[in-house]
Amino acid sequence: MEHSPDSIIYPDFSFYQPLKGYRITIDTVILYRFAAAHAAGTVLEAGSASGVMSILLSRNRKVARVTGIETDPEAYGLSLRNRELNGCGDRVEFVHDDLKYYKRLFKPQSFDTIVTNPPFHKAGTGKVSNEQGIASAHHEHSLTLEVLFASLRYLLKPGGYCMVLFPCSRLDELLSQTKGLAVEVLRFIHRKHDRPADAVLMLAKKGRGKQLSIVPPLYVQDTDGYSKEVQDMLDPRDEEDPGSSAADKNTP
């Protein structure tokens, strides 16, 4: 498989991703900026693909160590390559396995933070890509939403946080799986100002948490391209610490 060398957010951060197959999107940046404002301690990325999110989160001074788990062998291989490229082997570990085997893979309460952008189509729905990496990323071939949240409850420490990006069309299913978690923040994502929200960011705490806050929405585009907020996410030259951004003001 051919790969392209790319860069995003930080001038000293670069990575390889496939020319064909699953490539990172602006959703990766949005979820990273949302997660980095809250991530701390030991972090798990469920579905780490080529490792971009995990490596970016490892730059956060509040994060001790990041573990990424990925089922696709090619994406996993790229994550190892990207870890070496960015010299973060002491802070990032990648596991080639399926999170549905979480009880075999990890001890209970192993993580302070879990971040995930899970497959957004149920198995048997939507058009399935011929590219295995895209199909795995978009469809619940292996890991269902129910099993994902069972793993979150098992793996999170009491008081730990999970951050999830998920389509609004399945918001009812998402919220139905949050037993044992206190949903503290919901932020809806609109591709444009005149379009309905198509995705939602969720911050939830294991155990008792703050009262739910539905914060102002995020608009990805305006008439001239990316919105000012998204441009700031992509070019944080003025930030003091990795993970801080204008979006943090909207996540209590």
Q: Is the pLDDT of residue 96 over 90?
A: yes
Q: What is the mean pLDDT of the chain?
A: 87
The residues, any chain, with a CB within 8 Å of residue 128's CB and separated by 6 or more, are 135, 138, 139
Q: Tell me what pLDDT residue 235 has.
A: 82
Q: Is the full-model pTM beyond 0.95?
A: no
Q: Which residue has better confidence, 38 or 20?
A: 38
Contact 95, 105 (CB under 8 A): yes
Q: Tell me what pLDDT residue 8 has.
A: 82
- CA 146 to the chain's CA centroid: 18
CA distances 70 to 42, 50, 107, 143, Å, are 17, 9, 18, 11
CA distances 3 to 16, 23, 75, 135, Å, are 6, 10, 11, 18
Q: Is the pLDDT of residue 124 over 60?
A: no
Q: What is the mean pLDDT of residues 8-19?
A: 85
Contact 32, 251 (CB under 8 A): no
Where in the sequence is the domain holding 12, given as residue range(s)? 3-250
Q: Is the pLDDT of residue 4 over 50?
A: yes
Binned at pLDDT 50, 70 and 90, residue 251 comes out as low
Q: Which residue has better confidence, 136 or 221?
A: 221
The residues, any chain, with a CB within 8 Å of residue 107's CB and separated by 6 or more, are none
Q: Tell me what pLDDT residue 140 has.
A: 46
Q: What is the mean pLDDT of residues 29-41?
A: 96
Q: Tell me what pLDDT residue 129 has.
A: 43
Do the strands 225-226 and 221-222 form a parallel or antiparallel pair, or are they unpaired? antiparallel
What end-to-end distance do the CA atoms of the chain give, in Å? 42
Calculate ∠ Cα 192-202-145, nearest 5°. 105
How many separate domains does the chain show? 1
Q: Is the pLDDT of residue 246 over 50?
A: no
Q: Which two tokens stand for residue 198?
A: 């198509």
Contact 26, 220 (CB under 8 A): yes
Q: Is the pLDDT of residue 51 over 80?
A: yes
Q: Tell me what pLDDT residue 113 has.
A: 98
Q: What is the mean pLDDT of residues 203-216?
A: 96
Q: Tell me what pLDDT residue 123 has.
A: 55
Q: What is the mean pLDDT of residues 225-237?
A: 87
Binned at pLDDT 50, 70 and 90, residue 137 comes out as very low
The pLDDT tens digits of the residues spanning 140-198 come to 457 899 999 999 999 999 999 999 999 999 999 999 999 999 999 999 999 999 999 99
Q: Is the pLDDT of residue 15 over 50?
A: yes
Binned at pLDDT 50, 70 and 90, residue 106 comes out as very high
Sign of CA dihedral 223, 169, 72, 60: positive
Interatomic CA distance for residues 146 and 191, integer angstroms: 28
Amino acid present at 99: L
For the domain that residue 104 is a member of, what is the CATH number? Answer: 3.40.50.150
Closest CA to 119 of 131, 102, 136, 133: 136
Backbone φ, ψ for residue 28 (5° rounding)? -60, -45
The pLDDT tens digits of the residues spanning 125-134 come to 555 445 554 4
Closest CA to 34 of 187, 142, 152, 145: 187
